[in-house]
Each structure stands twice: as structure tokens, then as C-alpha cells.
């Protein structure tokens, strides 16, 4: 039996809507669940949907169950048929519908330099957030009267100086991460074209 994950990888929300006879031109239509007339209330991606009017939301199985007013089990059976797989419990392979091919791109291979630079960038961004948080806490302590004003000025100046020194370092590290990422993707594309 074909796993449900393979079925869900072959079917999109658009496929389900078109199969139900609903015209779909973009990723927003009038809600087919509550029968609304607002042409943008129902938004969807390939795998999830949400109605901004009635609040209905979910994935492929939920939409199929909504549209056909059936149980989740029946909805899964319909999805198997829509994907071109034999219905659940059936041993016959031929359904007359040619299944869509599954192609999942392998994750790109990045050089070790990129991973190291990305971790350093994450650390720098956490440090920036910690310094900003310390500055906010210091300002709050002054407003609440827990910190004398003369101590506040010194603490604030140190925090602002540290944040000012950290900004160009973060910008430079972001640039380096992007350059290493591009180099890794270019090397990966070059290696795959040679094969």
C-alpha cells in the first residue's frame, strides 16, 4: 500500500478545488465551504487553506472532507484516487489515471565555512538581542525608580556603545554568509551539471 505522505505530496489544494468543479485562477477565491461571495476570503497554498470569513482552516484531507461532506477516511480515499493511486483496500494497480511523478530536490551542500559563519551570525544576533534587552531593562528600572539616574547614564552609554560596535560586525557577517551560500549553491549546481 502507498503511504499517505506520497499521496499528499502529489495533490495540491488547487487540484482538489478544480476536481470539485471550482474555477481557480489564483490562490484566493470565494469560500466554497460557507458559500461566501467575497472573491478573496478563501486563501490557500499548495497544502493548507484558510477562510478569513468563516475561519475554516486545514490541509488537504480537511478540505476534501469539507467539500464532499464526508468523513476523514472517505476524504483520504478520494485523495488516493485523485493522486492516481488505487483506492484504499484495493489490490488492483491500474486506475486509468497516470500519477504525477514525485521529485524532491536534495538539500544543497554548503561548505563547512558557510555553516561556521552561519552559527557565528546566529550568535552575534543573539548577543545583539541580549544587549538590547539589557538596555530596555535598564530604562524600565529608571522609570520604576529602582535605579538611580547617575548609574543609568553610565549603563546606557555602555549599552549603546556595545550595540553600535556590534552592528557593523553583524552586517559584515550577513554579507559573508550570503557570499558563502551563493558559492555553495554555485558549486552544487556545477557538480550536478557535470554528472
How confident is the model over 117-173, as pLDDT tens digits? 888 999 999 899 998 988 899 899 988 989 888 888 888 888 889 989 999 999 999
Are 29 and 39 spatial neighbours (Cβ–Cβ below 8 Å)? yes
pTM exceeds 0.75 for this model: no
More confident call, 146 vs 115: 146
pLDDT(104) > 80: no
pLDDT band at residue 193 under the 50/70/90 scheme: low
pLDDT band at residue 82 under the 50/70/90 scheme: confident
Task: Quote the CA–CA distance of 39 and 62 in Å, as a whole number.
Answer: 21
What is the reported pLDDT for 100? Answer: 52
Could you give the residue range(s) of every CATH 1.20.58 domain in the chain? 112-194
Residue with cell string 467575497 = 38
Burial degree of 28 (CB within 10 A; 0-12, 13-18, 19+): middle
The alpha carbon of 143 is separated from its chain's Cα centroid by a whole number of angstroms, namely 40
Task: Quote the CA–CA distance of 123 and 127 in Å, as a whole number.
Answer: 6
Q: Which CATH number fits domain 4-83: 3.90.580.10, 1.20.140.10, 3.40.50.620, 3.20.20.10?
A: 3.90.580.10
pLDDT(91) > 50: no
List, for residues 37-50, the tens digit of each pLDDT value.
Answer: 888 888 888 888 88
What is the architecture of the domain spanning 112-194? Up-down Bundle (1.20)
- Phi, psi of 98, rounded to the nearest 5 degrees: -80, 125
Could you give the residue range(s) of every CATH 3.90.580.10 domain in the chain? 4-83
The residues near 26 (Cβ < 8 Å, ≥ 6 apart) are none
Task: Quote the CA–CA distance of 59 and 66 in Å, as a whole number.
Answer: 11
- Max alpha carbon distance in the chain (Å)? 83
Mean pLDDT computed over 60-80: 88
pLDDT(79) > 60: yes
| pLDDT, the chain, mean | 80
Amino acid at each position: 500500500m502507498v503511504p499517505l505522505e506520497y499521496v499528499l505530496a502529489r495533490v495540491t489544494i488547487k487540484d482538489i478545488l478544480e476536481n470539485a468543479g471550482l474555477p481557480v485562477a489564483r490562490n484566493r477565491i470565494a469560500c466554497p465551504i460557507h458559500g461566501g461571495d467575497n472573491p478573496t476570503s478563501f486563501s490557500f497554498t499548495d497544502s493548507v487553506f484558510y477562510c478569513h470569513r468563516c475561519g475554516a482552516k486545514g490541509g488537504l484531507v480537511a478540505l476534501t472532507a469539507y467539500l464532499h461532506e464526508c468523513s476523514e477516511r472517505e476524504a483520504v480515499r478520494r485523495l488516493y484516487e485523485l493522486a492516481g493511486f488505487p483506492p484504499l483496500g484495493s489490490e488492483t494497480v491500474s486506475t486509468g489515471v497516470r500519477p504525477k511523478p514525485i521529485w524532491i530536490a536534495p538539500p544543497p551542500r554548503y561548505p563547512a565555512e558557510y555553516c561556521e559563519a552561519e552559527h557565528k551570525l546566529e550568535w552575534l544576533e543573539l548577543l545583539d538581542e541580549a544587549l538590547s534587552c539589557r538596555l530596555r531593562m535598564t530604562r524600565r528600572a529608571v522609570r520604576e525608580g529602582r535605579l538611580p539616574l547617575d548609574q543609568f547614564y553610565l549603563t546606557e552609554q555602555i549599552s549603546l556603545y556595545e550595540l553600535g560596535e556590534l552592528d557593523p560586525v553583524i552586517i559584515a557577517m550577513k554579507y559573508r554568509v550570503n557570499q558563502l551560500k551563493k558559492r555553495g549553491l554555485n558549486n552544487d549546481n556545477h557538480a550536478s551539471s557535470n554528472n
